[in-house]
Amino acid sequence: MAEIWVEKYRPKRVAEVVGNKQSVQAFVEWMRKWELGKPPEKKAVLLYGPAGVGKTSLVLAYAREHGYDVVEVNASDWRDESRMKSIVGESSLQATLDGTTKKIILIDEVDGIAGREDAGGIAALRKIIDETRTPLALIANNPWDPKLASIRDRCLMLEFRRLRKSEVIARLREIAKSEGIQVSDKVLQALAERSEGDLRSAINDFQAITGGRKVVDEKVLEVLGTRNRVKQIFDALRMVFNAKSIRAARAALEGLEVDLDMVYVWLLDNAPQQIPDPEDFADAMEALARADVFLARVNKKQQWRLIRYAVPIMTGGVAVSRRHKPSGFVKFAFPSRIRLMQQTSREREVRKSIAAKIAGKLHLSTAKAMAHMLPYISFIASNNPEEGKKLAEYFELTASELAYLSGGKVEKEKAKAAAKPARRTRRRRR
Ligand SMILES: Nc1ncnc2c1ncn2[C@@H]1O[C@H](COP(=O)(O)OP(=O)(O)OP(=O)(O)O)[C@@H](O)[C@H]1O
Ligand SMILES: [Mg+2]
């Protein structure tokens, strides 16, 4: 039994899908046309919108309720086009409504195809849509890439928006009731607010803070600090890059609960986008390099007083270098590339292997499993060994993978053997 709540409380019936009623209804009507043996004019739907709002859940719930098999493919997990053509293409050509096999083909992360260099994937998908005899449900977070225009034209477009706070709270309350957990409205409010309409993250946060307890009060909210920190650091970066003086830039870091090395990495990783002029950029890099010398000494020799020099150089130095601003708004990005580089390659392998296993169970791509689920599962496992064991069993993790998730280090030899390629498709009876 899955003890991961997002999966345990995935809607079993369409009526349980919270919010976005119009799109839900439109999907049901579109499916009904297939059921009636009159395929709709558009053979594919494209469910699009932000993470964790019920896109995948709607398709799975419908299939379960109406006795469909789901052929599930994550576009971002395909490595070769011919494979996807053979899996999706073949299933899509079998007439589905002969009373024996009812099938929905679910192609997730369609936006991932647009990002790829070769246009083969899009052409292949277009062909599948044109020829299909089976309902095709496509899913994307952002379907507006120009390269996807020909796909969009062929799809019934169904938008999914962030859920309302009241919708998130109501669902969390149902879960609390079912788990026999006593929780104050204030906690549910806080969870809903933080989630910004992403029910997956709200449920994950909820499970993480309860930590197996049956009474949950406001104190546990402190645990949620981390994600707020990301917001804090975005604000700080904005201040640093936009500061008009060294003093103002330096003030940006006051009261920030993030360590200085972290701030450094964020500055470094965001500088190229934020400082478009090459000369400005060179100056900023010079400042960061000098700050790095101090930071290295702080770390190696514990010479804390050197922080006094490092901070103004890295903040003020960057601020005064930036004489030209980028045209238009440039988002600050989480420095995933650098962070990933800092992980050892073995650690990356273990994470990937774990993520692939999580993805296999939770209807996600490996990349999404890594971003949306792994931190939570790791949090739960490291705080509650009993629960960790159950999770390891459920996800079929090796002992060393569990050890890693529970906060241990990577065990050298085993890690490599554990890394296994992701399963790309699954067929399940629903
Ligand atoms: N509208 C909803 N109604 C009920 N539960 C939901 C809803 N949206 C999300 N959830 C919960 O969050 C989990 C993840 O939702 P789902 O997989 O449907 O998100 P998604 O919209 O497909 O997100 P992504 O774009 O990241 O794939 C579900 O298993 C369920 O527990
Ligand atoms: Mg999804």
Ligand 1 neighbour 141 (Cβ under 6 A): yes
For residues 287 and 239, is the Cβ–Cβ distance under 8 A? Answer: no
pLDDT of res. 405: 84
**Joined tokens for residue 191:** 């969870």
pLDDT (tens place) for every residue of the chain, 430 residues total: 558 999 999 999 999 999 999 999 999 999 999 988 888 899 999 999 988 999 999 999 999 999 998 988 887 666 556 666 777 767 777 665 555 678 999 999 888 887 666 667 888 889 889 988 899 999 998 888 888 999 999 999 999 999 999 999 999 999 999 999 999 999 999 999 888 899 998 998 898 888 778 888 887 777 666 555 566 777 888 889 998 888 888 888 877 766 777 788 889 888 988 998 999 999 999 999 999 888 888 877 777 788 888 888 999 999 999 999 888 777 777 665 445 445 566 777 888 889 999 998 898 888 888 878 887 888 888 888 888 899 999 999 998 899 888 875 454 434 344 444 434 344 444 4
- C-alpha span between 132 and 151 (Å, rounded): 14
Ligand 2 midpoint to CA 258 (Å): 31
* Amino acid (one-letter) located at 370: M
Ligand approaching nearest to the C-alpha of 160: 1
Residue nearest to atom 18 of ligand 1 (CA): 54
> β-pairing, 425-428 with 69-74?
antiparallel
Which atom of ligand 1 sits closest to the CA of residue 56? Answer: 22
Q: For the CA atoms of 114, 116, 119, 121, what is the dihedral angle to 10 degrees?
A: -80
Q: Tell me the domain boundaries of the chain.
A: 19-159, 165-226, 227-334, 343-419
Please give the model's pTM, rounded to 2 decimal places: 0.70
Q: Are domains 19-159 and 165-226 of this chain identical in fold?
A: no
Q: For residue 427, count other CB atoms closer than 10 A to its CB.
A: 11
- Give CATH for domain 19-159: 3.40.50.300
Q: Whose CA is nearest to atom 11 of ligand 1?
A: 200
Say how many Å lie between the CA of residue 400 and the centre of ligand 1.
30
For residue 276, which amino acid is it?
A: P
Sign of CA dihedral 399, 400, 405, 406: positive
Taking each helix axis from N to C terminus, what angle separates 55-66 and 21-35, rounded to the nearest 10 degrees? 40
CB of 17 sitting under 6 A from ligand 1: yes
At residue 385, the pLDDT reads 85
Distance of CA 214 to the CA centre of its chain: 28
Strand stretches in 13-130, DSSP E: 44-48, 69-74, 103-108
Ligand 1 pocket mutation pick from 20, 22, 53 by most atoms within 8 angstroms of CB: 53
Pocket lining: 140 vs ligand 1, CB cutoff 6 Å: no
Provide the pLDDT for residue 225. 60
Cβ-contact 137, 45 below 8 angstroms: yes
Mutation pick for ligand 1 pocket among 46, 56, 72 (CB with most ligand atoms within 8 Å): 56
Q: What span, in angstroms and rounded, lies between the C-alpha atoms of 102 and 404? A: 41
Instruction: Give how far Cα 291 sits from Cα of 75, 277, 281, 287, 349, Å.
Output: 42, 21, 15, 6, 32
Residue 84 region by backbone torsions, left for phi larger than 0, else alpha for psi between -120 and 50, else beta: alpha
The rounded Å distance from CA 90 to ligand 1 centre is 28
> Amino acid letter at 160?
F
Q: Are 125 and 107 in contact (CB under 8 A)?
A: yes
Q: Is the CB of 143 under 6 A from ligand 1?
A: no
Q: Just give the CATH number of 165-226.
A: 1.10.8.60
- Tell whether ligand 1 has an atom less than 6 A from the beta carbon of residue 10: yes
* Residue 203 beta carbon below 6 angstroms from any ligand 1 atom: yes
For residue 75, count CB atoms less than 10 angstroms from its CB and return exposed for 0-12, middle for 13-18, buried for 19 or more: buried
In this prediction, residue 429 carries a pLDDT of 42
What ligand is nearest to the CA atom of residue 195? 1
Who's near 127: CB < 8 A, 6+ residues apart?
89
Residue nearest to atom 6 of ligand 1 (CA): 54
Length of the chain: 430
Q: How far apart, in whole angstroms, are the C-alpha atoms of residue 324 and residue 313?
A: 19
Strands 136-140 and 44-48: parallel
Q: What is the model's pLDDT at position 223?
A: 66
d(CA 312, CA 310): 6
Q: State the Cα–Cα distance between residues 268 and 355, nearest whole angstrom.
A: 28
Q: Are 200 and 52 in contact (CB under 8 A)?
A: yes
Environment class of 189 (CB within 10 Å of its CB; exposed 0-12, middle 13-18, buried 19+): middle
